[in-house]
Structure 1
Amino acid sequence: MTEATDTSIPAPEGDAEIIETDYTLGQDNFETQVGPFGVDIHNPVFLISGLSIIAFVFYALALPEQAAGFFGWLRPALTSNFDWFFMGAANIFVLFCLFLIVSPLGKVRLGGSDATPDYSYIGWFAMLFAAGMGIGLMFYGVSEPMSHFGTSMGGTTVEDGARTDWAPLGGAAGDQAESIRLGMAATIYHWGLHPWAIYAVVALALALFSYNKGLPLTIRSAFYPLLGERVWGWWGHVIDTLAVFATLFGLATSLGFGATQANAGLNELFGVPVSSTTEVILITAITAVALISVVRGLDGGVKILSEINMGLAFLLLLFVLIVGPTVAILTGFADSLLAYVEYLPALAMPLGREDVNFSQGWTAFYWAWWVSWSPFVGMFIARVSRGRTVREFIICVLLIPSLVCVLWMSVFGGTAIQQVVQDGVTAVSEAPLELKLFKMLGELPLSGITSFIGIILVVVFFVTSSDSGSLVIDTITAGGKIDAPVPQRVFWCIFEGAVAIVLLIGGGLAALQAMVISTGLPFTVILLLMCWAIYKGLKSERG
């Protein structure tokens, strides 16, 4: 995620029908306390989450073999038993958002009936795109369409050490054109409506209960209609602590993917060894850069880096579109959207799946990852969406970023598929996931320059994810404050990098995926309850 502008929160407006006295009744349980070194901690959320993360880091470093075994067992155990839950929950989030669009509740305005938008449509759309999945788009932009295309042609894939036929929806073996459509449809399924519905639920809850109800900008506030004053006690502490864990491990997973891809790109261009040591050095160095950005603050750090990255990403996208198979990309973009609509019911079916490598190895992990990022991205979206109606908010949050993600996948993935199908380039199809982007760029003009830009994009996405993620976690642990002391942000930034390092050492990407699923599972329950709280909150506004 990248933040593209100043997102300071205007004062809440509108009535407070549910919240009769703001949150003053429970304020004794919700105060923040200024502790040593000038930190403004929210007990016990800061202490519990901080100490737990420190203990986790020391455990993984002290007992690496035991940790690796545990992580290796955890991921398949969770995905094989709870894939139906993740898929069913994601479907509910999409249906809930569609219900709000057509419901009279969609007329509610975030910030009160007299609120006006803080940003123009163009600026708002740009920031919705900026809130996207930067490292994920770089890592999977080529690799996922290629993977689904190859396996739907009757190929196989390795998952958790076992070779498993994918054959989604009965497969498309032997039909090359349909395999391309199915591969792109499966990719869009993972980057379209479902993940953005997850983000929309959290963003809407935060915006509604902050701007309309006068509550602090933290996850527990959304549960006031269900829990009342208990949200300021241990129920709220548990909710916010789960949000911290989910966000931290979701970020660590993204940082791990970024490090492995940056390492692969450096090896391809400059012969830098591919090893855990190199990845640890990369994470350490880039976390140090993120610390500088954190200290400089939102405008002096995150905003500048985000603008640089957005410009570079657009130039790289435009370059590949122009020098690549332009006509095939543009026609494939439209055809891929049609294939997505056609295959969506089967792809989203949570029960009776035989394509376990796809439903468990890909989809269940993705939904857990998006859920873990939802406090992170949702808080950013909430902070820039005041003044919009709920209907306007949902339509734009679902459609604008989804279309941008589809365009990105169509340009990069479509180019790679054409290189394999039309030109017989095997280097792209045979490369590991983290190297496919650079192999694809290697077949285009100016490959050295574009591959280097690709490495820079991965690194800067890494930095902006780390520093803006530190700001979000700090806001949650400081009781909803957006101007907590800098030492707290430094603490979270350091430990985001530390968690990514120990997970890579303790089991590689499988360990990162295991932890994001384990934290995403309980937080998915939180999001399901959040839908009911949003409904009650919107009903009170309409009343």
Structure 2
Amino acid sequence: MAEVVPDLVLAAEAEYERGNGSGPFGMRQVSLFKGFTFNPVVSFFAAAVLWSFVIKVSVDKEESMKEFKEAQSWVTSTFTWFYIGSQQYWVFYVVPLIYYYGHVKLGQDDEQPEYSDMSYFSMVFCAGVAIGLIFYGASEPLWHMLSSGGANRYNNNGYFNDNEQAQAAINVTIFHWGVQAWVVYAITAVSMGFLSYRKGLPLTFRITLAPLFGKAIWGWFGDLLDSVAIVTIVCGLCTSLGLGAKQIVGGMQRLGWLNSDLTEQGITDSTSWCIAIITCFATLSVISGLDYGIKTISQTAFLLGNFLLLTVFFLDAPWYLLNVMVQSLGYHIQHFIEIGFYTDAFAQLATGEGAPNDGKGANQAWMDWWTIFYWGWWISWAPFVGTFMARISRGRTIRNVFLYTLSVPFVYAIVWFGTFGGAAIRMHRRATFLSDMGLELHNSSDFYLHTSSDFRPAGAGKCYSVPESLEHADYAAAGKYVTDIKVSPVCAFSYKDDAGYWFDLMGQYHGMGPFLVAVSLFTTVLYFVTSSDSGSLVVDLIANNGRESHVVQRVFWAITEGAVALALLRAGGPESLSALQSISICAGLPFTVVIMLMCTALWRALKIDQKHMPARDQRVDWALPLYGGIFDILEFVLTLGKSGLPQSKAVLDFFLGLFAPPLLLWKSLRGLAALQTAQPSTALQDGFMAAACSLSYSAWIILQILTGAEVENASGLWGIAWTSFVGFAVLVASVRHTVRAHFKIEGSGLEDLVSALFFWPQTLAQMVQQVDTPQKPSMKEVELGEEQLKPSVEKKEAEI
């Protein structure tokens, strides 16, 4: 990893200031011996949260599982609109970003990429998808195609035929793995890579908000952000370790490498050994470093995945699969906007509150099961994959990073799911056909049933041997029954064995089933190892303030991931690992807010870099930032007084904004009027604004109290209460916009409204302090003044 240029650090400190610790940019740091440094708050807090989670699940598994699942369902039912809307916003945000700033490098202008395109893409892809492509490659399209696996708006709309249902199923799967899925990784990677390698900030997740939060990012706020990132990363990786190990055990049973009659405890023991072995390999890979272990394993896993892809493509029905890919591409482009914004708004209504009366459409929980599950999952993994991608993207342009993280993975998803999804749909339809023919011709749906000594779970779908011909008059003519008996046996899909359907698919090709299943298992292990070691590398970076860590730290975090997964598995079985999945999905909600802020922060940083916005020492900013004032008290405590206490006036104004907002609004308006030279507001106008503020704020509080007190005929007053609050926030936002415009402070009306809605006491305190602060002239005003002064100076010199 190249050293950061000292001049860059100085320039970054001028823009983003420093904290009060001994680490880079004043972050908190402890040094035990040479080379062994770490952020104590981030490391200890993250470790404490992880192990507290393990203890909670161990002590009360059933109640914990219930709470986590309820939290996941609440997030889905309440914030589907936010997940869906934000995801589409990011997709459209990328377009102007590439147009205006696509040429900017994640590094200095003369730097070249550290890794070749092939190595780069293989590492990006393996870290981003891990086991998912194998776990869902064959089964997800069939889940969406068959209503028995869960009714959705396509398989239960009442008018789609089987072909249309199959195409819609492929489209939904591509949607879940395509552009909308990868955009969150790409934005995080570009933001971190740009701020670290071009602007000199340490490579840790907190820096993504530095352009908005400045100095606060090096204190408690940044520590909290990094700690939550570590917890989320480990939760996601532990879940993948557990679920993937379970699939590996199932595959080994099918191959006869493990006993087919394993008890539940036996399966748990085998899964535990899988996790332990994978963790050992991942630890060795992390010790080997990025250039040897991680890169080599990623490339090997990627090549093996492509081997399976091409083998199935050629052994199945190549021309059919090519048709599926081309058709799916066009279908997805046609429905890109529609499917991207679809929220199942009507389908999510429960019975009695407006659910559909015809029984058609999606299951009420379908978004919770699928799309929101995916979006929460991808977003919660953004700190992991985004940080790792940033680490390997140095020297690449923003346009190049988006190319390899959006367009190429999208095309690969078309090819992958077009191949495996198309092959799985064909196999299921062939199996269903043979079941129907057995019943029609021989009065037994099991007439063509395939019998084998190989192990298959009890819940798996039935498999059928493909006959050369059918004893049926309708299929006697040439071309009426076309089949390939070498692609046999064919198996029907069962959602109870969705993880094992991949192995069923591999088992139908020319007797090569055992070989292809073995390759699949080995590929799965490598995918897990590369995800685990990449995750360990990222956690190391975050826990050590963005710097390469000591080998002891790498081993510690690599083992911690496996240990947490093992502890959960041993304490509560596979179900306890799904609790981690729920936690990760719920963590996607606050991270959605963070990534929305990240977009604004990245745009601002790029504007400064390209001279489209003045640097900090050349522009006017808020005298009291939203994150300052009363919030500095916590930093004062954590630094043992080094940071200093905030001004008492800022703290007092915060509480006045909480309990007497009209007073601060009045002060802001009158202070601004005193500064304005052209058409200042009158005292009467400002009085009306303050009165409206008082009325709306008081109504919000009083009506909420009446609702809570269950006053007769007052149950609906809470709606008027919140309407009043929104009106109050709009008033505050309009005044903040006026103050900001007067002082020429960078921002937008949306930022003003969000500040007023969620941080109105601090927003009011901010406005009061701003109008009491002597105005600093902007660079344009300074230059204008110099131009106006120049003629008079020249005239004076001429007179002399």
Q: TM-score, normalising length from structure 2?
A: 0.62
Bigger helix share: 1
Change (3 A) 1:428 1:277: farther
Q: Which moved more, 1:425-434 or 1:397-406?
A: 425-434
The residue type paired with residue 187 of structure 2 is V
Match of 2:187 in 1: 201
1:170-181, aligned counterparts within 5 Å? Answer: 171=157, 174-181=160-167
Deviations 1:78-105 (A, max 9, x none): 2222222222221121111122123x23
- Counterpart pick for 2:249 among 263, 275, 285: 263
Structure 2: distance between partners of 1:323 and 1:368? 36
Question: The residue matched to 1:171 in structure 2 has which SS?
Answer: coil
Change (3 A) 1:61 1:284: farther
Q: C-alpha displacement at 1:344, in angstroms?
A: 2.6
Change (3 A) 1:344 1:500: farther
- Counterpart pick for 1:340 among 321, 332, 340: 332
Match of 2:276 in 1: 284
Q: C-alpha displacement at 1:469, in angstroms?
A: 0.7
Question: The residue matched to 1:388 in structure 2 has which SS?
Answer: coil
Change (3 A) 1:222 1:119: same
1:142 paired with 2:138, answer yes
Change (3 A) 1:457 1:119: closer
1:6-405, aligned counterparts within 5 Å? Answer: 8-9=1-2, 11=4, 19-21=12-14, 25-26=18-19, 28=21, 29-35=26-32, 39-102=36-99, 104-150=100-146, 155-157=147-149, 165-168=151-154, 171=157, 174-270=160-256, 271-272=259-260, 273=262, 275-351=267-343, 352-354=345-347, 355=362, 356-405=364-413
Q: Which runs of 5+ in 2 are unaligned?
A: 348-361, 435-461, 463-490, 612-800
The residue type paired with residue 165 of structure 2 is S
Identity of aligned residues (%): 34
| Contact 2:237 2:535 survives alignment (8 Å) | yes
Question: The residue matched to 2:128 in structure 1 has which SS?
Answer: coil
1:487 paired with 2:552, answer yes
The residue type paired with residue 600 of structure 2 is W
| Contact 2:304 2:523 survives alignment (8 Å) | yes
Structure 1: distance between partners of 2:421 and 2:610? 45
Q: C-alpha displacement at 1:503, in angstroms?
A: 4.7
| Contact 2:123 2:298 survives alignment (8 Å) | no
Structure 1: distance between partners of 2:186 and 2:326? 25
The residue type paired with residue 175 of structure 2 is Y
Deviations 1:199-243 (A, max 9, x none): 011001111100111000011112111111111101111111121
Change (3 A) 1:125 1:292: closer
Q: Which moved more, 1:208-217 or 1:453-462?
A: 453-462
| Contact 2:39 2:544 survives alignment (8 Å) | yes
Whose Rg is larger?
A: 2
Structure 2: distance between partners of 1:421 and 1:408? 20
Structure 2: distance between partners of 1:110 and 1:301? 24
| Contact 2:316 2:423 survives alignment (8 Å) | yes
Question: The residue matched to 1:116 in structure 2 has which SS?
Answer: coil
Structure 2: distance between partners of 1:126 and 1:457? 13
Change (3 A) 1:200 1:131: same
Q: C-alpha displacement at 1:135, in angstroms?
A: 0.7
Q: C-alpha displacement at 1:20, in angstroms?
A: 4.5
Change (3 A) 1:500 1:21: same
1:461 paired with 2:527, answer yes
Q: C-alpha displacement at 1:400, in angstroms?
A: 0.9
Q: Which moved more, 1:384-393 or 1:251-260?
A: 384-393
| Contact 1:139 1:257 survives alignment (8 Å) | no
1:529 paired with 2:597, answer yes
Question: The residue matched to 2:565 in structure 1 has which SS?
Answer: helix
- Of structures 1 and 2, the one with the larger relative CO (CA 8 A, separation 6+) is 1
Structure 2: distance between partners of 1:399 and 1:529? 24
Q: Say how many residue pairs are matched.
A: 524
The residue type paired with residue 307 of structure 1 is Q
Match of 1:4 in 2: none
Q: Which moved more, 1:253-262 or 1:381-390?
A: 381-390
Q: C-alpha displacement at 1:172, in angstroms?
A: 6.5
| Contact 1:23 1:215 survives alignment (8 Å) | no
Q: C-alpha displacement at 1:107, in angstroms?
A: 3.0
The residue type paired with residue 89 of structure 1 is S
Structure 1: distance between partners of 2:566 and 2:158? 40
Deviations 1:371-406 (A, max 9, x none): 122122112222232333323332332101221122
Question: The residue matched to 1:110 in structure 2 has which SS?
Answer: coil
Structure 1: distance between partners of 2:318 and 2:10? 54
